[in-house]
Amino acid sequence: KAGVTQTPRYLIKTRGQQVTLSCSPISGHRSVSWYQQTPGQGLQFLFEYFSETQRNKGNFPGRFSGRQFSNSRSEMNVSTLELGDSALYLCASSLGPTGDETQYFGPGTRLLVL
Partner 1 sequence: KNEVEQSPQNLTAQEGEFITINCSYSVGISALHWLQQHPGGGIVSLFMLSSGKKKHGRLIATINIQEKHSSLHITASHPRDSAVYICAVRLRGGSNYKLTFGKGTLLTVNP
Q: Does 84 bind partner 1 (CB under 8 A)?
A: no
End-to-end CA distance of the chain: 37
CB 35, min distance to partner 1, A: 8
**What contacts 31, CB < 8 A, 6 or more positions away?**
25, 48, 49, 50, 93, 94, 95, 96, 97, 101
Q: Does 54 bind partner 1 (CB under 8 A)?
A: no
Determine the residue type at 87. Answer: A
Span from 13-21, 51-59, 64-72, 76-84 in contact with partner 1 (CB under 8 A): 51-59
Contact between 11 and 109 under an 8 Å Cβ cutoff? The reply is yes
Q: d(Cα 26, Cα 32) in Å, to the nearest integer?
A: 10
Span from 13-21, 22-30, 55-63, 75-83 in contact with partner 1 (CB under 8 A): 55-63
Q: Does 60 bind partner 1 (CB under 8 A)?
A: no
Q: Does 56 bind partner 1 (CB under 8 A)?
A: yes
Q: Which is nearer to partner 1, 42 or 80 (CB)?
A: 42
**3-state DSSP call for residue 83?**
helix
Tell me which residues touch partner 1 (CB under 8 A).
33, 35, 37, 42-45, 48, 55-56, 58, 88, 90, 92, 97-105, 107-108, 110
